[in-house]
Structure 1
Protein backbone atom coordinates (compact mmCIF):
# COMPACT_ATOMS: atom_id res chain seq x y z
CA UNK A 1 0.00 0.00 0.00
CA UNK A 2 1.35 3.46 -0.89
CA UNK A 3 0.11 6.77 0.45
CA UNK A 4 0.74 10.26 -0.86
CA UNK A 5 3.63 12.03 0.84
CA UNK A 6 1.33 14.84 2.03
CA UNK A 7 -0.91 12.46 4.00
CA UNK A 8 -1.08 13.79 7.58
CA UNK A 9 0.80 11.72 10.16
CA UNK A 10 -0.45 11.40 13.74
CA UNK A 11 1.40 9.86 16.66
CA UNK A 12 -1.21 8.13 18.84
CA UNK A 13 0.58 8.90 22.07
CA UNK A 14 1.08 11.55 24.72
CA UNK A 15 4.48 10.07 25.66
CA UNK A 16 7.22 12.72 25.56
CA UNK A 17 9.74 9.95 24.86
CA UNK A 18 7.96 8.77 21.70
CA UNK A 19 7.38 12.34 20.55
CA UNK A 20 11.07 13.20 20.90
CA UNK A 21 12.10 10.04 19.07
CA UNK A 22 9.73 10.63 16.16
CA UNK A 23 10.93 14.24 15.93
CA UNK A 24 14.38 12.88 15.04
CA UNK A 25 12.99 11.85 11.63
CA UNK A 26 12.13 15.50 10.85
CA UNK A 27 8.62 14.64 9.72
CA UNK A 28 5.60 16.85 10.26
CA UNK A 29 3.22 15.15 12.68
CA UNK A 30 0.72 15.86 15.42
CA UNK A 31 -0.02 13.93 18.60
CA UNK A 32 -3.34 12.60 19.81
CA UNK A 33 -4.19 10.71 22.98
CA UNK A 34 -5.61 7.24 22.28
CA UNK A 35 -8.46 6.09 24.50
CA UNK A 36 -7.59 2.42 25.02
CA UNK A 37 -7.88 -0.10 27.81
CA UNK A 38 -4.37 -1.43 28.49
CA UNK A 39 -5.45 -4.28 30.79
CA UNK A 40 -3.72 -7.56 29.86
CA UNK A 41 -5.99 -10.45 28.96
CA UNK A 42 -5.72 -13.65 31.02
CA UNK A 43 -2.72 -15.65 29.87
CA UNK A 44 -1.75 -13.07 27.23
CA UNK A 45 1.91 -13.26 26.24
CA UNK A 46 3.86 -9.99 26.64
CA UNK A 47 4.68 -9.68 22.92
CA UNK A 48 1.06 -10.32 21.99
CA UNK A 49 -0.04 -7.69 24.52
CA UNK A 50 2.34 -5.09 23.10
CA UNK A 51 1.16 -5.78 19.53
CA UNK A 52 -2.52 -5.70 20.47
CA UNK A 53 -2.16 -2.40 22.31
CA UNK A 54 -0.07 -0.83 19.52
CA UNK A 55 -2.84 -1.75 17.08
CA UNK A 56 -5.58 -0.55 19.43
CA UNK A 57 -3.95 2.85 19.96
CA UNK A 58 -3.42 3.41 16.25
CA UNK A 59 -6.95 2.31 15.35
CA UNK A 60 -8.58 4.40 18.10
CA UNK A 61 -7.04 7.60 16.72
CA UNK A 62 -7.40 6.59 13.06
CA UNK A 63 -11.15 6.19 13.52
CA UNK A 64 -11.33 9.89 14.45
CA UNK A 65 -8.95 11.04 11.70
CA UNK A 66 -9.70 8.97 8.57
CA UNK A 67 -7.65 11.29 6.35
CA UNK A 68 -4.46 10.55 8.31
CA UNK A 69 -2.07 7.69 8.80
CA UNK A 70 -1.65 6.99 12.51
CA UNK A 71 1.33 5.53 14.31
CA UNK A 72 0.65 3.69 17.55
CA UNK A 73 3.17 2.05 19.84
CA UNK A 74 3.27 0.14 23.09
CA UNK A 75 5.97 -1.42 25.22
CA UNK A 76 5.71 -4.35 27.61
CA UNK A 77 8.48 -5.42 29.99
CA UNK A 78 8.50 -8.93 31.38
CA UNK A 79 10.42 -11.20 33.69
CA UNK A 80 9.85 -14.92 33.05
CA UNK A 81 7.21 -14.98 35.77
CA UNK A 82 5.47 -11.61 35.43
CA UNK A 83 4.80 -8.48 33.40
CA UNK A 84 6.34 -5.28 34.78
CA UNK A 85 4.09 -2.27 34.36
CA UNK A 86 4.83 1.39 34.91
CA UNK A 87 5.57 1.68 38.63
CA UNK A 88 3.76 4.94 39.38
CA UNK A 89 5.41 5.29 42.80
CA UNK A 90 8.90 5.29 44.29
CA UNK A 91 8.21 2.19 46.39
CA UNK A 92 6.95 0.13 43.44
CA UNK A 93 9.90 1.27 41.29
CA UNK A 94 12.33 0.10 43.97
CA UNK A 95 10.43 -3.17 44.28
CA UNK A 96 10.59 -3.78 40.52
CA UNK A 97 14.33 -3.11 40.38
CA UNK A 98 14.93 -5.54 43.24
CA UNK A 99 13.11 -8.17 41.17
CA UNK A 100 15.23 -7.28 38.12
CA UNK A 101 18.54 -7.41 40.00
CA UNK A 102 20.76 -10.08 38.43
CA UNK A 103 18.00 -11.05 35.98
CA UNK A 104 17.28 -10.71 32.26
CA UNK A 105 14.20 -8.67 31.38
CA UNK A 106 12.57 -8.86 27.95
CA UNK A 107 11.13 -5.66 26.50
CA UNK A 108 8.68 -5.92 23.61
CA UNK A 109 8.13 -2.66 21.75
CA UNK A 110 5.40 -2.78 19.13
CA UNK A 111 4.68 -0.15 16.50
CA UNK A 112 1.64 -0.09 14.22
CA UNK A 113 0.46 2.08 11.34
CA UNK A 114 -3.27 2.40 10.76
CA UNK A 115 -5.59 4.27 8.45
CA UNK A 116 -9.35 4.40 8.97
CA UNK A 117 -10.25 0.94 10.36
CA UNK A 118 -7.23 -1.01 9.10
CA UNK A 119 -3.77 -1.75 10.46
CA UNK A 120 -1.54 -1.39 7.41
CA UNK A 121 1.80 -2.31 8.99
CA UNK A 122 3.05 -3.69 12.29
CA UNK A 123 6.38 -4.62 13.87
CA UNK A 124 7.44 -5.83 17.31
CA UNK A 125 11.04 -5.48 18.47
CA UNK A 126 12.47 -7.45 21.38
CA UNK A 127 15.20 -6.03 23.59
CA UNK A 128 16.92 -8.12 26.26
CA UNK A 129 18.29 -6.19 29.23
CA UNK A 130 20.58 -8.03 31.62
CA UNK A 131 20.78 -6.33 35.00
CA UNK A 132 23.78 -6.40 37.28
CA UNK A 133 23.30 -7.60 40.83
CA UNK A 134 22.08 -4.35 42.38
CA UNK A 135 22.75 -3.18 45.92
CA UNK A 136 19.69 -1.85 47.72
CA UNK A 137 21.41 1.51 48.28
CA UNK A 138 22.01 2.05 44.57
CA UNK A 139 18.41 1.10 43.74
CA UNK A 140 17.13 3.68 46.22
CA UNK A 141 19.60 6.32 44.99
CA UNK A 142 18.78 5.61 41.34
CA UNK A 143 15.01 5.86 41.77
CA UNK A 144 15.36 9.07 43.79
CA UNK A 145 17.55 10.74 41.16
CA UNK A 146 16.05 9.53 37.87
CA UNK A 147 12.38 9.24 38.99
CA UNK A 148 11.45 6.55 36.42
CA UNK A 149 7.87 6.34 37.62
CA UNK A 150 6.33 6.40 34.13
CA UNK A 151 8.72 3.83 32.62
CA UNK A 152 8.02 0.11 32.22
CA UNK A 153 10.71 -1.72 34.16
CA UNK A 154 11.42 1.31 36.38
CA UNK A 155 14.41 2.84 34.61
CA UNK A 156 15.36 5.40 31.99
CA UNK A 157 18.10 3.83 29.90
CA UNK A 158 18.83 7.19 28.27
CA UNK A 159 19.60 8.53 31.77
CA UNK A 160 21.21 6.99 34.85
CA UNK A 161 19.40 3.72 34.19
CA UNK A 162 22.28 2.63 31.98
CA UNK A 163 24.33 2.25 35.18
CA UNK A 164 22.12 -0.66 36.21
CA UNK A 165 22.86 -2.84 33.19
CA UNK A 166 25.27 -5.66 32.58
CA UNK A 167 24.39 -5.73 28.87
CA UNK A 168 21.56 -5.24 26.41
CA UNK A 169 20.73 -6.79 23.08
CA UNK A 170 18.42 -5.41 20.40
CA UNK A 171 18.18 -5.02 16.62
CA UNK A 172 16.72 -1.54 17.06
CA UNK A 173 18.44 0.58 19.75
CA UNK A 174 15.69 3.17 20.23
CA UNK A 175 13.11 0.45 20.93
CA UNK A 176 14.06 0.45 24.60
CA UNK A 177 13.20 4.14 24.85
CA UNK A 178 9.73 3.48 23.46
CA UNK A 179 9.76 3.70 19.65
CA UNK A 180 11.88 1.47 17.37
CA UNK A 181 13.00 3.97 14.74
CA UNK A 182 14.57 1.44 12.36
CA UNK A 183 11.27 -0.43 12.15
CA UNK A 184 9.34 2.84 12.01
CA UNK A 185 11.41 4.14 9.08
CA UNK A 186 10.90 0.89 7.20
CA UNK A 187 7.16 1.04 7.75
CA UNK A 188 6.94 4.71 6.74
CA UNK A 189 8.93 3.98 3.61
CA UNK A 190 6.44 1.26 2.65
CA UNK A 191 3.55 3.77 2.73
CA UNK A 192 5.28 6.72 1.07
CA UNK A 193 6.05 8.74 4.20
CA UNK A 194 9.81 8.11 4.27
CA UNK A 195 11.68 11.21 5.55
CA UNK A 196 14.57 11.12 3.04
CA UNK A 197 14.52 11.83 -0.68
CA UNK A 198 15.04 8.79 -2.87
CA UNK A 199 15.72 8.22 -6.55
CA UNK A 200 14.40 5.47 -8.76
Structure 2
Protein backbone atom coordinates (compact mmCIF):
# COMPACT_ATOMS: atom_id res chain seq x y z
CA UNK A 1 0.00 0.00 0.00
CA UNK A 2 1.49 3.38 -0.97
CA UNK A 3 2.26 5.85 1.77
CA UNK A 4 -0.43 8.49 2.07
CA UNK A 5 0.10 11.86 3.66
CA UNK A 6 -2.18 12.13 6.68
CA UNK A 7 -5.00 14.65 6.34
CA UNK A 8 -4.10 15.36 2.71
CA UNK A 9 -6.12 18.26 1.40
CA UNK A 10 -7.72 16.39 -1.49
CA UNK A 11 -11.24 16.79 -2.80
CA UNK A 12 -13.66 13.98 -1.99
CA UNK A 13 -15.87 12.76 -4.83
CA UNK A 14 -18.80 10.37 -4.62
CA UNK A 15 -18.84 8.29 -7.78
CA UNK A 16 -22.55 7.60 -7.78
CA UNK A 17 -25.86 8.93 -9.03
CA UNK A 18 -27.72 7.45 -6.05
CA UNK A 19 -29.53 10.03 -3.95
CA UNK A 20 -29.49 7.56 -1.04
CA UNK A 21 -25.69 7.40 -1.05
CA UNK A 22 -25.45 11.16 -1.36
CA UNK A 23 -27.73 11.67 1.62
CA UNK A 24 -25.75 9.16 3.68
CA UNK A 25 -22.39 10.76 2.85
CA UNK A 26 -23.82 14.16 3.85
CA UNK A 27 -24.07 12.83 7.42
CA UNK A 28 -20.28 13.07 7.69
CA UNK A 29 -20.46 16.84 7.05
CA UNK A 30 -17.53 16.61 4.65
CA UNK A 31 -17.39 18.78 1.54
CA UNK A 32 -17.77 16.53 -1.51
CA UNK A 33 -18.95 16.57 -5.09
CA UNK A 34 -20.82 13.96 -7.09
CA UNK A 35 -19.69 12.49 -10.38
CA UNK A 36 -21.63 9.87 -12.33
CA UNK A 37 -19.46 6.85 -13.16
CA UNK A 38 -19.73 5.41 -16.65
CA UNK A 39 -19.69 1.70 -15.89
CA UNK A 40 -21.45 -1.25 -17.49
CA UNK A 41 -23.25 -2.94 -14.60
CA UNK A 42 -24.11 -6.14 -16.49
CA UNK A 43 -23.21 -9.20 -14.42
CA UNK A 44 -20.65 -11.63 -15.79
CA UNK A 45 -22.29 -15.04 -16.40
CA UNK A 46 -22.03 -17.10 -13.23
CA UNK A 47 -20.73 -14.17 -11.18
CA UNK A 48 -21.59 -14.45 -7.49
CA UNK A 49 -23.46 -11.51 -5.88
CA UNK A 50 -20.55 -10.60 -3.59
CA UNK A 51 -18.06 -10.65 -6.47
CA UNK A 52 -20.42 -8.57 -8.63
CA UNK A 53 -20.91 -5.90 -5.96
CA UNK A 54 -17.18 -5.73 -5.26
CA UNK A 55 -16.24 -5.51 -8.94
CA UNK A 56 -18.77 -2.76 -9.68
CA UNK A 57 -17.86 -0.64 -6.64
CA UNK A 58 -14.21 -0.68 -7.64
CA UNK A 59 -15.00 -0.08 -11.31
CA UNK A 60 -17.11 2.97 -10.41
CA UNK A 61 -14.42 4.48 -8.20
CA UNK A 62 -11.71 3.83 -10.80
CA UNK A 63 -13.80 5.27 -13.62
CA UNK A 64 -14.26 8.58 -11.83
CA UNK A 65 -10.69 8.63 -10.46
CA UNK A 66 -9.35 8.32 -14.01
CA UNK A 67 -10.86 11.72 -14.81
CA UNK A 68 -10.07 13.27 -11.39
CA UNK A 69 -6.68 11.83 -10.43
CA UNK A 70 -6.12 14.21 -7.51
CA UNK A 71 -9.41 13.38 -5.83
CA UNK A 72 -10.30 10.70 -3.30
CA UNK A 73 -13.17 8.89 -4.99
CA UNK A 74 -15.82 6.75 -3.30
CA UNK A 75 -17.57 4.04 -5.29
CA UNK A 76 -20.26 1.70 -4.02
CA UNK A 77 -22.63 -0.97 -5.27
CA UNK A 78 -25.27 -3.17 -3.70
CA UNK A 79 -26.53 -6.56 -4.83
CA UNK A 80 -29.16 -8.64 -3.05
CA UNK A 81 -28.03 -12.26 -2.69
CA UNK A 82 -30.93 -14.70 -2.71
CA UNK A 83 -29.44 -18.15 -2.34
CA UNK A 84 -26.48 -17.23 -4.53
CA UNK A 85 -28.57 -15.46 -7.19
CA UNK A 86 -28.00 -11.72 -7.63
CA UNK A 87 -31.01 -9.42 -7.45
CA UNK A 88 -30.46 -5.82 -8.51
CA UNK A 89 -32.76 -2.83 -8.86
CA UNK A 90 -36.17 -3.98 -10.10
CA UNK A 91 -36.77 -0.97 -12.35
CA UNK A 92 -40.45 -1.80 -12.83
CA UNK A 93 -43.46 -2.61 -10.66
CA UNK A 94 -43.73 -6.09 -12.13
CA UNK A 95 -40.11 -6.92 -11.36
CA UNK A 96 -40.48 -5.57 -7.82
CA UNK A 97 -43.53 -7.78 -7.21
CA UNK A 98 -41.60 -10.81 -8.47
CA UNK A 99 -38.60 -10.02 -6.26
CA UNK A 100 -40.66 -9.56 -3.11
CA UNK A 101 -42.66 -12.73 -3.74
CA UNK A 102 -39.43 -14.68 -4.06
CA UNK A 103 -37.92 -13.15 -0.91
CA UNK A 104 -41.05 -13.67 1.20
CA UNK A 105 -40.22 -15.76 4.27
CA UNK A 106 -36.57 -16.12 3.24
CA UNK A 107 -33.14 -14.94 4.30
CA UNK A 108 -31.37 -12.54 1.93
CA UNK A 109 -27.86 -11.12 2.15
CA UNK A 110 -27.51 -7.58 0.85
CA UNK A 111 -23.90 -7.33 -0.34
CA UNK A 112 -22.91 -3.65 -0.14
CA UNK A 113 -19.46 -3.06 -1.58
CA UNK A 114 -17.35 0.04 -1.03
CA UNK A 115 -14.22 1.22 -2.83
CA UNK A 116 -12.04 4.27 -2.24
CA UNK A 117 -9.49 5.23 -4.89
CA UNK A 118 -7.00 8.06 -5.43
CA UNK A 119 -5.23 7.69 -8.77
CA UNK A 120 -2.54 10.25 -7.99
CA UNK A 121 -1.29 8.50 -4.86
CA UNK A 122 -2.05 4.97 -6.01
CA UNK A 123 -4.36 4.44 -3.03
CA UNK A 124 -7.01 1.77 -3.55
CA UNK A 125 -9.12 -0.13 -1.06
CA UNK A 126 -12.27 -2.21 -1.50
CA UNK A 127 -14.42 -4.04 1.04
CA UNK A 128 -17.89 -5.56 1.32
CA UNK A 129 -20.35 -5.01 4.17
CA UNK A 130 -22.84 -7.90 4.16
CA UNK A 131 -26.24 -7.30 5.72
CA UNK A 132 -28.25 -10.40 6.64
CA UNK A 133 -31.98 -9.77 6.35
CA UNK A 134 -34.91 -12.07 7.06
CA UNK A 135 -38.19 -11.25 5.35
CA UNK A 136 -41.60 -11.96 6.85
CA UNK A 137 -44.12 -14.07 4.97
CA UNK A 138 -45.70 -11.49 2.66
CA UNK A 139 -49.09 -11.74 1.01
CA UNK A 140 -49.96 -10.26 -2.36
CA UNK A 141 -52.03 -7.39 -0.95
CA UNK A 142 -49.19 -6.32 1.35
CA UNK A 143 -46.71 -6.35 -1.51
CA UNK A 144 -48.99 -4.27 -3.75
CA UNK A 145 -49.77 -1.76 -0.98
CA UNK A 146 -46.09 -1.40 -0.10
CA UNK A 147 -45.05 -0.84 -3.70
CA UNK A 148 -47.81 1.71 -4.31
CA UNK A 149 -46.72 3.74 -1.29
CA UNK A 150 -42.93 3.39 -1.47
CA UNK A 151 -42.17 2.79 -5.18
CA UNK A 152 -38.72 1.35 -4.40
CA UNK A 153 -37.88 0.58 -8.02
CA UNK A 154 -34.35 2.01 -7.67
CA UNK A 155 -33.51 -0.13 -4.61
CA UNK A 156 -31.74 -3.49 -4.85
CA UNK A 157 -34.22 -6.20 -3.95
CA UNK A 158 -37.11 -3.68 -3.79
CA UNK A 159 -36.65 -3.32 -0.02
CA UNK A 160 -36.34 0.30 1.10
CA UNK A 161 -35.49 -0.35 4.73
CA UNK A 162 -35.18 3.32 5.69
CA UNK A 163 -38.84 3.74 4.70
CA UNK A 164 -41.90 1.49 4.78
CA UNK A 165 -39.77 -1.47 3.70
CA UNK A 166 -38.77 -1.99 7.33
CA UNK A 167 -42.29 -3.40 7.87
CA UNK A 168 -41.48 -6.26 5.47
CA UNK A 169 -38.68 -7.59 7.66
CA UNK A 170 -38.28 -9.91 10.63
CA UNK A 171 -34.66 -9.12 11.42
CA UNK A 172 -31.51 -7.32 10.25
CA UNK A 173 -27.96 -8.29 11.20
CA UNK A 174 -25.02 -6.05 10.22
CA UNK A 175 -21.83 -4.57 11.69
CA UNK A 176 -22.26 -1.39 9.59
CA UNK A 177 -25.86 -0.16 10.01
CA UNK A 178 -26.05 2.18 7.00
CA UNK A 179 -24.88 -0.55 4.61
CA UNK A 180 -28.43 -1.68 3.93
CA UNK A 181 -29.38 1.80 2.73
CA UNK A 182 -26.48 1.75 0.29
CA UNK A 183 -23.28 3.18 1.82
CA UNK A 184 -21.54 1.58 4.84
CA UNK A 185 -20.42 4.70 6.68
CA UNK A 186 -18.20 2.96 9.24
CA UNK A 187 -16.14 1.48 6.41
CA UNK A 188 -16.32 4.76 4.50
CA UNK A 189 -14.79 6.67 7.41
CA UNK A 190 -12.11 4.02 7.86
CA UNK A 191 -11.12 4.09 4.19
CA UNK A 192 -11.20 7.88 3.94
CA UNK A 193 -8.86 8.11 6.93
CA UNK A 194 -6.55 5.57 5.31
CA UNK A 195 -6.58 7.67 2.12
CA UNK A 196 -5.52 10.72 4.14
CA UNK A 197 -8.88 12.45 4.48
CA UNK A 198 -9.60 13.97 7.85
CA UNK A 199 -13.21 12.98 8.50
CA UNK A 200 -13.84 14.97 11.69
CA UNK A 201 -12.48 18.47 11.15
Q: Do the aligned residues in 2 keep the contact of 1:112 with 1:119 (CA within 8 Å)?
A: no
3-state SS, counterpart of residue 108 of structure 1: strand
Deviations 1:111-134 (A, max 9, x none): 111122855111110001100000
Aligned counterpart, 2:32: 29
State how far apart, in whole Å, the 1-side matches of 2:75 and 2:161 are.
Answer: 21
Deviations 1:129-156 (A, max 9, x none): 1000001100000000000000000021
Aligned counterpart, 2:75: 72
Aligned pair count reads 197
State how far apart, in whole Å, the 2-side matches of 1:70 and 1:14 are.
Answer: 13
Aligned counterpart, 1:109: 112
Unpaired stretches in structure 2, ≥5 consecutive residues:
none
Aligned counterpart, 1:62: 65
Q: 1:2 aligns with which of 4, 26, 33?
A: 4
Aligned counterpart, 2:157: 153
Moved over 3 A (4+): none
Unpaired stretches in structure 1, ≥5 consecutive residues:
none
State how far apart, in whole Å, the 2-side matches of 1:85 and 1:108 are.
Answer: 11
Q: Do the aligned residues in 2 keep the contact of 1:59 with 1:119 (CA within 8 Å)?
A: no
Pairwise CA RMSD: 1.3
TM-score by length of 1: 0.95
Q: 2:174 aligns with which of 162, 167, 170?
A: 170
